[in-house]
Amino acid sequence: YSNHRNIATYYGAFIKKSPPGKDDQLWLVMEYCGAGSVTDLVKSTKGQSLKEEWIAYISREILRGLSYLHSNKVIHRDIKGQNVLLTDNAEVKL
């Protein structure tokens, strides 16, 4: 499901083995989104509000990504600011 502009490209996954007594970790390899998350963006405003146009843009792009997933019978199940990523070109990715 990586052929949509609002879905981060998935490259693969691997399991990182942990020492005995600790759980192994599943690591996903995805497209790099250098501007961080929407949560990072909100924190960086330091109490100032985001412009309405920027909020509308992010919301619209999230909905486009969700619409694409739903049309392919995929449910995200964890939409939150930390999981909405931004590229250096201001692209919004789920």
- Assess whether 78 carries a catalytic annotation: yes
Which one of 23, 24, 40, 78 is the catalytic residue?
78
Q: What is the pTM of this model?
A: 0.86
Confidence of residue 69 (pLDDT cuts 50, 70, 90): very high
pLDDT digits (tens, 9 = 90+) for 5-58: 999 999 999 999 999 999 999 999 999 999 999 999 999 998 899 999 999 999
The gap from C-alpha 73 to its chain's centroid, in whole angstroms, comes to 19
Q: Do residues 44 and 89 touch, judged by C-beta distance below 8 A?
A: no
- Strands 25-30 and 92-93, how do they pair? unpaired
